[in-house]
């Protein structure tokens, strides 16, 4: 009985930890950001859509900050490669993505990227920005 409780405990912890992974790809191009968090971000909306409007409510951006947030996303991605047929048939093949890049000048210092199976919405943006906030903002 004790062994089965131990196995169940280990399985439960593994399941909990795997549920925390959101499937996003994060890259620290500037490794110092892992130890020294940013004090500010600037952001210039590229359009007047719902994602840009939502992003402006998630953080107090500073137009004078040397670090700039760039929001990118795409929908309706179609891949006609025959090599992807098994993936398309057997799973939710991505048809969109969302990406948040932080740049210092023209150099990317941090990137968050996630494939999506539907058009990015404000919930996807909130999750992405929350991850960015935890990773690199004070």
Please check whether residue 61 lies inside any domain of the structure: yes
Count of domains for the chain: 1
Give me the domain span that covers residue 97: 23-136
Across 43-66, average pLDDT: 93
Please check whether residue 50 lies inside any domain of the structure: yes
Give per-residue pLDDT as tens, 72-121: 997 665 555 555 445 444 556 666 899 999 999 999 999 999 999 888 99
Stated pTM of the model: 0.75
Please check whether residue 105 lies inside any domain of the structure: yes
Query: Is pLDDT at 9 greater than 50 in this prediction?
Result: no
Please check whether residue 9 lies inside any domain of the structure: no
Please check whether residue 12 lies inside any domain of the structure: no
Average pLDDT, the chain: 81
Of 27-36, 43-52, 70-79, the range with the highest mean pLDDT is: 27-36
Q: What is the DSSP string of the chain?
A: -HHHHHHHHHHHHHHHHHHT--S-EEEESSGGGGTS-BS--EE--SSSSHHHHHHHHHS---TT-SEEEEEEEE-------GGGHHHHHHS----EEEEEEEEETTEEEEEEEEEESS---HHHHHHHHHHHHHHHB-
């Amino acid at each position: 009985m004790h062994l089965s409780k131990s196995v169940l405990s280990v399985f439960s912890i593994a399941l909990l930890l795997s549920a925390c992974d959101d499937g996003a790809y994060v890259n620290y191009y500037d490794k110092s950001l892992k130890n020294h968090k940013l004090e500010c971000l600037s952001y210039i909306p590229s359009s007047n859509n719902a994602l840009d409007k939502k992003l402006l409510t998630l953080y107090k951006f500073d137009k004078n900050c040397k670090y700039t947030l760039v929001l990118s996303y795409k929908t309706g991605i179609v891949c006609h490669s025959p090599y992807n047929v098994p993936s398309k048939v057997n799973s939710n093949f991505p048809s969109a993505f969302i990406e948040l890049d932080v740049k210092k000048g023209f150099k990317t210092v941090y990137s968050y990227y996630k494939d999506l199976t539907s058009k990015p919405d404000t919930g996807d943006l909130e999750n992405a920005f929350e991850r960015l906030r935890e990773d690199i903002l004070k």
